Amino acid sequence: MSGVRVEGLTVGYGGKPILKDLSFSLESPFFLVVMGPNGAGKSTLLRTLVGVLKPYSGSVRVYGLDPWRRRREVRSVAAYVPQLMNIREEVPVTVEEIVAMGLLSKLPPPRLISTRVKELVREVLALVDMAGYERKFFNQLSGGQQKRVLIASALIRRPKALILDEPGSMLDFKARCELMQLIEKIHVRRGTDVIMTSHEIPSCMTLEPDLLLLNRATYAFGKINEVLRREILVKIYPGMTEREGLLILGEDHVKR
């Protein structure tokens, strides 16, 4: 199979469903934005796609692979970048080490940064506009630069897809737009499929992605002009208000 297929997916934590009866399909090449309020199940969906969570019911296929049963194979073709990474700020780890770990963590010991690995690190850092940062410490970088390094660490294995959880979180508007332009460049130039979550559609996007609107279930799936409609958004965002023709999407947590 050349894409992602989700059919009747119900999944959650501790026996309590977060997503119920979710279905959608994507054919490569694809660029999907999963949008919804806090607590809608966006991160839960991504964690299911990479085999972290086992579905209660339904089926998931990523390039024909069952993520739960074939987790290692799925992670070799779909690189996951979570919203928060467990990298301790006080540990003096370099950019080169962070990026190289994206490759070395999949190999048996000893995990040494060889000359060839160094070359691959330089190549992928150039791709994310971070050339020359190999010896910089990760904790000295700006938030936007750290995001780029983490994406480079995912790209070093040349995955078919990037799966990104809120890549623009905790960034100002300028850094968020620059990061979005980078993700679009990777999609267009490398042919890398993209699935990313977001609270909103970044206004600086130049591509027209597929859009999946979630709030514990699928409310809409399609192109932006088909999906971003008032009658749909009002069902998803509990705090949505309308002022002078503008829709303001509230970020209330979902409680059901």
DSSP β-bridge partners for residue 29 = none
Q: Residue 25's pLDDT is what?
A: 94
- Contact between 9 and 60 under an 8 Å Cβ cutoff? The reply is yes
Element (H, E) at 161: strand 161-164
Tokens 């309020």 -> residue: 37
Q: Note the residue count of the chain.
A: 256
Residue 61 domain boundaries: 3-248
Q: Report pLDDT digits (tens) over 199-221.
A: 877 778 888 899 999 988 888 89
Q: What is the CATH number of the domain that holds 47?
A: 3.40.50.300
Q: Residue 253's pLDDT is what?
A: 36
Q: Report pLDDT digits (tens) over 61-86.
A: 999 999 999 999 999 999 999 886 66
Ramachandran bin of 51, using left for φ above 0, alpha for ψ from -120 to 50, beta for the remaining angles = left
How far apart, in Å, are the Cα atoms of 186 and each of 85, 127, 155, 218? 21, 8, 9, 28
SS3 79: strand
Asked if residue 256 belongs to a domain, the reply is no
Q: Who contacts 67 (Cβ-Cβ below 8 Å, separation ≥6)?
A: 48, 49, 50, 51, 60, 74
Domain count, the chain: 1
Average pLDDT over residues 184-188: 95
Q: Residue 10's pLDDT is what?
A: 96
Rounded to whole angstroms, the Cα distance separating 3 from 26 reads: 5
Helices (H) and strands (E) in the chain, counts: 8, 11
Asked if residue 99 belongs to a domain, the reply is yes
Asked if residue 80 belongs to a domain, the reply is yes
Asked if residue 254 belongs to a domain, the reply is no
Enter the pTM of the model.
0.88
